[in-house]
Amino acid sequence: MTTMTTMTTTGTIAVTFLGPDGVAHPLRVRPGGSLMEAARDAGIEGIVAECGGACTCATCHVHVEDAWRELIPAPVGQEIDMLDFTAEPGPGSRLSCQIRLCPELDGLTVRLPVSQY
């Protein structure tokens, strides 16, 4: 896969959340935080994040698009356990609180499930 390199001089990267209805919610965010924090701060509907990023609730579940999976470290430990509690598990299932945003993820696209419960 070829990664996008569209970081601007302000040091932001592009991430897009695709709602269950197919509507795209593009954001420009600074690297360093989690994908869940970016969604929460932008008011993305569908990311509940009840535990605030402690990896204990599975309410920030997303589906990472195929093209991006190889750039994100595989889930480990507690995240694997929590993914069992997601409403719509799938091969690209991840908890967005466990995805750290970095310049290599510029252009990342994730799909939101219909429900977090």
User: pLDDT tens digits, residue range 38-89?
Assistant: 999 999 999 999 999 999 999 999 999 999 999 999 999 999 999 999 989 9
pLDDT at 5 (0 to 100): 46
| Token pair of 26 as six digits | 């593009």
In this model, does residue 10 exceed pLDDT 80? no
Residue length of the chain: 117
**Cβ atoms of 26 and 71 closer than 8 Å:** no
| Token pair of 89 as six digits | 């598990």
Mean pLDDT value across residues 103-113:
97
Q: What is the largest CA-CA distance in the chain?
A: 40
| Global confidence as pTM | 0.90
Written as one letter, the residue type at 46 is G
